[in-house]
Structure 1
Amino acid sequence: MSAARQSTDAAETGRPFSRRAVLGAVLATAAGLTAACGSGSGSGGGGADSFTYWSMWKQDEPQAKVLKAAIAQFTKDTGIKVSVQWKGRQVIQQLAPTLNTGSVPADLVDSSDRFAYAQLQATGQALDLSPVLELPIPGETGSTVGSVVPAKYHSLSTTAGTLWQLPYEIITTQIWYDGHALPDVAAKPPATWAEFSTLLAARKASRGDGPLALDADVPDYAAYWTYYAVLRGLGPGAFGKAATDKSGALLKAPGFVDALRHVEALVKADDFTKGYDGSKWPAVQQKWAKGKSDFLLLGTFAPSETSTFASSAFTYRSFPFPALTSGGDTSQDISLIGFSIPKKARHAAAAQKFIAYFLAKERLQGIATQAKNITPRADIAAPAELADAQKALATGNVVKTLDGVKETAAEWYTKVFLPLNTSFLTGHLTAQSFANKLAGNSASYWRTAS
């Protein structure tokens, strides 16, 4: 299983610069960093010569190797020692019980955005990282954290004025295909639902089987189809608003049902490959990688999950979920992986210096070249297999995956939405019956939750 998939549930070479230049930049701005970050930084203050970092990665993963190299160089350049513990995906959950004590064991932590929100921001235990946006990037004249991490990314990790995470890795969802096998699609990907439907019909006629790959036993994967249909039909925020509607009425409103009917049409037309409704992950996506189906709706971890099953000629290409109508919504969903600092961290200022240090192009580009993922910096090219996804992020509006429902209504999503949605995607519910049941079950859930 890929690192990126686990974290959610879940190349361009930089210009070289001398170590002396990095050291000079860090030392020259040390006083400014302390002043900017000192308030709320805990008892360690800005003069700390060490800090403790808990990471979501295991030490043999590619991201960990990139971070290890940066940490070693950071210590050489600044004299600040970093005690790092490679905790794995449950890092925030392990840290959570200590956050309201006088002895928080980590000054810096990284995780997926939804866990950072739930365990840090929602509990009032996240340090506001807004001042970090003003910090200079060591070795990059004129660059600050805020200038290299676009606002469209860090604004999605800002709640009530508190910036609770700064991202270093971006995950988005695309429809994947083999560009070598489907050169016509590569030349002109479908931009609208009508074009997509025409393409599916042609591919189904050619194959004698549905061209869409889905392991329906993974509820999150089925959820992508429904979420994107609602996003395209009703726009950003509509899914999240409906999810938290305590009456349930928005979940069966005409516009919501109309969006669902696009997915219902795929199911009724047998556009999903045979056996998808009884598959055991990763059977169908392996089948897709072997060329036995055409299209896979999945996050940017798809290449890393499937590459061992693909032929040497397989060329990873992707396109965004099509707009329902010409000129309709084309927003691209994103999940973030990044740094957070507990409010009671003792050496927060030193941790903040490392954030700015790691976001330098020379170091951050390892997330693309070695870990094979997209970074928030536009001047770091994604690996070739993610080039289409990076282009989609650069040219379109971005929104939080599932409208942030995994953060703000996680139990509703898991207990109410996912079971019904899987029944819908596997043909056991029509769009209208799915909407009716979802509305009723949601209203019952929120009465109890309230």
Structure 2
Amino acid sequence: MGTAETEETEETEEFLLPRSHAANERLHALIPGGAHTYAKGDDQYPEHLAPVISHGHGAHVWDIDGNRYIEYGSGLRSASLGHAHPRVNEAVRRELDRGSNFVRPSILEVEAAERFLATVPTAEMVKFAKNGSDATTAAVRLARAATGRPRVAICADHPFFSTDDWFIGTTPMSAGIPAATTDLTLTFPYGDLAATEQLLNRHQNEVACLILEPATHTEPPPGYLAGLRELADRHGCVLIFDEMITGFRWSEAGAQGLYGVVPDLSTFGKALGNGFAVSALAGRRDLMERGGLRHSRDRVFLLSTTHGAETHSLAAAMAVQTTYVEEGITAQLHALGARLAVGVREAAASMDVGDHVVVRGRASNLVYATLDENRQPSQQYRTLFLRQLLAGGVLAPSFVVSSALDDADIDRTVDVVAQACAVYRKALDAADPTPWLAGRPVKPVFRRLA
């Protein structure tokens, strides 16, 4: 048993991860950024305290130093059933000995499509891929083809849509992307229909689509999504919902199923495969068919990926959807998240940091903010908070729950949060968290310089 599981100390200098530190050095020597996803980089964690994972089961992961953690935000929200879920693994195992990829479609492709469209009945056709960026970029391309318009309007308040140039060019990490590409992407604020209409009027007949996450850490204002639907129709735009996060966590049919507003196109991923690589572009038949063979118009290169229909990933997706529906997983996520949110808020209030450690978001998708003495977002205080959580055996870049958590995990997390908040209070009283950082602060993913 490792340090994180067995020791409950207020200070964290003695909590070390020597094997993880050495492995991170190896990772950086061979892999740009030291990870295959920037959000998993060691710059997102306190210096020398970025655990390298050995394995995971359910809601727990073990690092190569032997420490066990209660894990939140599993696989960047992808493993919402927990790691190595038996129902998903069994479905995958059944396909592994049957071959994973063929020169023609497998019967599993139509079965997976039927299962998906039964789960998301607001869509009429679906095409599978391996990651969210492929799906969102295909949606944008399809919208441009259908409308004959060049510009894309993205929601400025949502952090990520794609690794492709049309989005990344709008971030501080825009190196290598021509300005001509970035100039075609416009932004609109979430929840503000008037500002969005002004944008569409200013670029009359130029905007191919509006793309946004239908909800994130804030619920959509009353009538907002329906108003956006009306705006898109009136201005001839394609309305795209990025449901990578909201899919399954808001309802089995995503936010569109919960709020009753139907987009023209929507994209799903993350929870869809419970860690296996699968994403989906879904939507109106007349649009989706533009990427098919049964029409007489110019063809759209919609999605064509060698590994897009690997049988084991599609089997995983089908098992995930069945599990969600039959076991009421979305309701479980909301119940677990609600219990956690209450506990964290009470713990923070008890240590007089309730205005500084702030839990936000839908119960199934909780995040937290770390605010300084002036109640402004602080990377330094985030670093302090993360160090204390790690030392207490909680790996929590967010508080996004999986259904594998149980009440004991939640209670233990709340205890660790209370300990972290006690240290947080000391730093606030000192008006300087530096003595508790033991190194550089964690950094935002999107920044111009490394």
TM-score, normalised by the number of residues in structure 1: 0.29
Q: Specify which structure has the bigger relative contact order, considering alpha-carbon pairs within 8 angstroms and separated by 6 or more residues.
A: 1
- TM normalised by structure 2 equals 0.29
Structure 1 or 2: larger helix share? 1
